[in-house]
Amino acid sequence: MKDVIGGSVGDECAKQKRYTEVMKKFNEIIENDLHLESVLVPIGDGMTISKVKK
């Protein structure tokens, strides 16, 4: 899953390195949580929507 910030790939934004690290960790946690169904919507910087599986 690529992380995008302000239209450019996150790891190219040295100015926002910490923000990028937090976003990557969040996406990794969400992606690997077997209790969730998630989708990353490519709007702006991206929007993650998750719901608990039944």
Q: What is the pLDDT of residues 17-33, one digit of tens each?
A: 888 888 889 989 999 99
Percentage of the chain beyond pLDDT 90 is 39
User: Which letter does DSSP use for residue 11 in this model?
Assistant: G
What is the model's pTM? 0.59
Provide the mean pLDDT of the chain: 81
- Give which of 43, 48, 44 is closest to 6, Cα–Cα: 44
Query: How many domains in the chain?
Result: 1
Which residue range(s) make up the domain with 48?
A: 4-52
